[in-house]
């Protein structure tokens, strides 16, 4: 059931969403689609449909706010997924915010700031988080509203700590050639419903020895200056046995070397036209692996994504993949610039000063 958080004199009301089934998807999804079409005219965009919405709300590890007009119509939304964020070895209770939107016919009325204030209440006051992590698509709506909202809060702010273009390779017009000897690989899943569960191969195969989840998390901790821990909603999203659109592939490169690659298959659209999906490489963990081995893994994942009808493969450069590997594989930077940001108390976001890649953070 929706919980009322606030109500304005002009009839707008703000609600906490605790279940996707509490949303009237017949009115919510069209509102969301119209707003994003407005912001991405003649530009390729993610098509936030019901499948994407449900994939991004795994288990209990998320909060969301919904703004409605006087007649109950949805006019704004934001979602935040609970994550453990480690910065230079220090663990923080974080939320990854996404899907921030305001109906194009209800803008310039302060609704964006109101929605952000609602998320702040849930995340910081009710769930005792340390900060929010988010991404901004430069030149699109959202970033100025976030900045101005946090600038108004005493001793709070926004730290933009990494900026990168989206890198892309077409899989339809320039498909990867077949690999004669692909690396042994398994798809991972959780056997439990939380970060305390164990990892296993999804297909039950034994072609690759699956390490303990804690061992993978220790590798992540050692390899990256900033990383999401392999628990809570991260596991719920990328290790969900029921999901076909997100996953984690474990490659065996040698008896003592593995590579973990996590992916999303995302529906895309341009204006009114629905496109085939893209495959997004989200994470790459490749300790002690050579550039040639990393190149082969990404090549193999490209073939995997092409089998799932993806017309392109994309990634954001967070230092996980050497630039020479991207060049060799035919990836090119697009005009889309993505900025990673932390928002919250200045004493907390100060940890991001001078932070350098590589990072183990996702972008959706």
Short-list 52, 49, 54, 62, CA closest to 16: 62
Compute the distance between CA of residue 19 and CA of residue 1 in angstroms, rounded to an integer.
7
Q: Answer yes or no: is pLDDT of 204 > 70.
A: no
**Class of residue 221 by CB neighbours under 10 A (exposed 0-12, middle 13-18, buried 19+):** middle
| The CATH homologous superfamily of the domain defined by 3-165 | Gcn5-related N-acetyltransferase (GNAT) (3.40.630.30)
In this model, does residue 242 exceed pLDDT 70?
yes
Angle at 29 between CA 26 and CA 30, to 5 degrees: 85
Q: Which residues contact 354 (CB under 8 A, 6 or more apart)?
A: none
Cα torsion for 48, 130, 214, 203, to the nearest 10°? -10
Q: How far apart are CA 202 and CA 44, in angstroms?
A: 33
pLDDT band at 193 (very low <50, low <70, confident <90, very high): low
CB-CB contact of 207 with 185 (8 Å): yes
Q: What is the pLDDT of residues 283-338, one digit of tens each?
A: 999 999 999 999 999 999 999 999 999 999 999 999 999 999 999 999 999 999 99
Domain boundaries, the chain: 3-165, 169-335
CATH class of 169-335: alpha beta
3-state DSSP percent of the chain in helix, strand and coil, to 5: 25, 40, 35
Q: Residues 5-53: pLDDT tens digits? A: 999 999 999 999 999 999 999 999 999 999 999 999 999 999 989 999 9
Contact status, residue 78 vs residue 65, Cβ threshold 8 Å: yes
């Amino acid at each position: 059931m929706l919980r009322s958080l606030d109500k304005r004199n002009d009839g707008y009301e703000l609600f906490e969403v605790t279940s996707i089934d509490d949303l009237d998807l017949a009115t919510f999804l069209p509102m969301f689609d119209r707003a994003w079409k407005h912001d991405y005219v003649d530009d390729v965009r993610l098509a936030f449909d019901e499948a994407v919405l449900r994939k991004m709300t795994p288990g209990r590890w998320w909060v969301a706010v919904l703004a409605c007009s006087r007649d109950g119509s949805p006019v704004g939304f934001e979602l935040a997924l609970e994550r453990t964020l480690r910065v230079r070895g220090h663990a923080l209770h974080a939320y990854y915010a996404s899907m921030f939107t305001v109906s194009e016919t209800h803008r310039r009325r302060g609704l964006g700031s109101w929605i952000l204030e609602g998320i702040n209440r849930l995340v910081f006051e009710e769930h005792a988080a340390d900060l929010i992590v988010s991404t901004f698509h430069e030149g699109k709506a959202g970033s100025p509203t976030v900045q101005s909202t946090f600038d108004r809060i005493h001793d709070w702010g926004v730290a933009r700590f990494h900026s990168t273009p989206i890198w892309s390779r077409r899989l339809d017009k320039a498909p990867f050639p077949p690999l004669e000897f692909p690396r042994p690989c398994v798809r991972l899943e959780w056997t439990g419903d939380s970060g305390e569960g164990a990892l296993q191969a999804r297909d039950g195969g034994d072609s690759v020895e699956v390490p303990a989840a804690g061992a993978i998390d220790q590798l992540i901790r050692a390899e990256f200056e900033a990383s999401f821990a392999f628990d809570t909603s991260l596991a719920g999203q990328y290790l969900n046995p029921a999901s076909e659109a997100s996953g984690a592939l474990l490659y065996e490169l040698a008896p003592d070397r593995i590579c973990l690659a996590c992916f999303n298959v995302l529906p895309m659209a341009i204006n009114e036209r629905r496109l085939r999906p893209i495959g997004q490489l989200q994470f790459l963990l490749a300790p002690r692996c050579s550039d040639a081995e990393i190149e082969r893994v990404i090549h193999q994942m490209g073939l995997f994504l092409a089998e799932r009808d993806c017309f392109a493969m994309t990634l954001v450069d967070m230092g996980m993949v050497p630039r020479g590997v991207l060049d060799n594989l035919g990836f090119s930077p697009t005009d889309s610039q993505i900025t990673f940001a932390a928002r919250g108390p200045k004493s907390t976001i100060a940890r991001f000063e001078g932070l350098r890649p590589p990072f183990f953070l996702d972008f959706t």
